[in-house]
C-alpha cells in the first residue's frame, strides 16, 4: 500500500516525498523545536530574574529598616541607645558576612533569628516615662518588625528555584536545536561551520545563563549583600 501511495505521488514536486535537509518536514520540525526552546528558555530566565529582582529590593528594604531603627535608637537613654545600636550593628555585620555565605546554599544562617529575638526581648522589657523616649522605643520596635518581615521574605527567596524539569528541558531543546540540521542530513562544509559554531556558542551561553540565574543569592547574577554593607557605612555616619 505504501509503495502504491509513493508511486501515486510521483516525484518530489507533489509534496509527498521529502528527503531533503531543507525540506518541509525538517523546516517545520526545526521551527517548532526552536519555538519550544525559546518558550522554555524564557520561563527559565524570566521567573528567576523576577524572584531575584524582588529579593534585591527586599534586601534594601531590610537594610533601610535597620538604618531607621539605628536612627530612632539615638533618642533612647544613652545606655539603652548604645546597647540597641550595638545589637543592630552585630546583626547587620552577621547578615553581610557569615549568613550571606549560607544563603548561597539556599538557607538563612542559624544565628540571625536569635540575634533579633534577643533584641526584641530586650526592648520589650524597657519602660519609660518620658514621651520622647516612649516614642523612640515604639519607633525602634516598629522598624524591627519590618526587619523581621523582610527576613522572613528573604528565607522564602533563598529557597525558591525552578523545577528541575524546566532546566532539563532547556538543555534538551538546546541540543535538539543544535543537532537537528545534522540529523536531517545537512553536511556543512567550509565557512558554513562558522555560523554553526556561533549557534553552538550562543546555545551554550543560554543554557549556562539559565542554570546560573536559578540561584537567587549565588553566582554572578545573584543578589549581593551590598545593601547591608551600605547600612554599616550609614551607621558610621549617624551621630
- Look at residue 21 and tell me if it is in a domain: no
Residue 136 and residue 175 in one domain: no
In a domain, 191, yes or no: yes
Indicate if 74 and 190 belong to the same structural domain.
no
**Weakest mean pLDDT among 59-68, 89-98, 156-165:** 156-165
Domain of residue 102 covers 54-160+220-239
Number of structural domains (the chain) is 2
The answer, yes or no, to whether residue 3 has pLDDT greater than 50, is: no
On the question of pLDDT at 84 being above 80, the answer is yes
pLDDT for the residue numbered 66: 95
Residues 82 and 176 both lie in one domain:
no
The better pLDDT of the pair 177, 54 is held by: 54
Place of cell 534585591: 56
Could you tell me which residue, 155 or 36, shows the higher pLDDT? 155
112 to 41, 66, 100, 109: CA distances (angstroms) = 36, 14, 11, 6
Cα of first residue to Cα of last residue in the chain, in angstroms, is 93
Q: Is residue 19 part of a domain?
A: no
Q: Which of 173, 165, 216 is nearest to 39 (CA)?
A: 173
Q: Quote the pTM value.
A: 0.74
More confident residue, 127 or 147: 147
Residue 188: predicted pLDDT: 64
- 180 Cβ contact list (under 8 Å, min separation 6): 26, 29, 30, 33
Do both 156 and 227 map to the same domain?
yes
Flag whether 27 is in a domain. no
Amino acid at each position: 500500500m505504501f509503495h502504491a501511495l509513493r508511486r501515486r505521488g510521483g516525484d518530489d514536486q507533489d509534496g509527498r516525498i521529502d528527503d531533503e535537509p531543507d525540506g518541509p518536514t525538517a523546516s517545520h520540525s526545526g521551527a517548532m523545536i526552536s519555538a519550544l526552546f525559546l518558550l522554555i528558555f524564557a520561563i527559565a530566565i524570566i521567573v528567576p530574574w523576577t524572584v531575584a529582582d524582588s529579593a534585591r529590593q527586599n534586601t534594601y528594604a531590610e537594610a533601610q529598616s535597620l538604618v531607621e531603627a539605628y536612627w530612632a535608637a539615638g533618642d533612647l537613654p544613652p545606655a539603652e541607645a548604645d546597647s540597641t545600636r550595638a545589637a543592630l550593628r552585630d546583626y547587620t555585620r552577621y547578615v553581610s558576612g557569615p549568613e550571606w555565605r549560607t544563603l548561597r546554599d539556599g538557607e538563612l544562617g542559624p544565628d540571625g533569628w536569635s540575634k533579633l529575638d534577643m533584641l526584641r526581648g530586650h526592648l520589650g522589657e524597657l519602660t519609660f516615662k518620658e514621651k520622647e523616649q516612649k516614642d523612640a522605643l515604639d519607633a525602634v520596635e516598629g522598624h524591627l518588625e519590618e526587619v523581621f518581615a523582610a527576613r522572613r521574605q528573604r528565607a522564602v527567596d533563598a529557597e525558591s528555584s525552578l523545577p528541575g524539569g524546566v532546566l532539563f528541558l532547556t538543555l534538551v531543546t538546546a541540543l535538539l536545536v543544535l543537532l537537528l540540521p545534522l540529523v536531517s542530513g545537512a553536511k556543512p562544509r567550509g565557512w558554513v561551520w562558522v555560523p554553526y559554531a556561533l549557534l553552538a556558542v550562543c546555545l551554550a551561553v543560554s543554557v549556562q545563563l539559565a542554570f546560573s540565574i536559578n540561584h537567587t543569592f549565588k553566582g554572578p547574577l545573584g543578589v549581593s549583600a551590598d545593601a547591608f554593607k551600605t547600612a554599616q557605612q550609614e551607621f558610621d555616619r549617624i551621630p
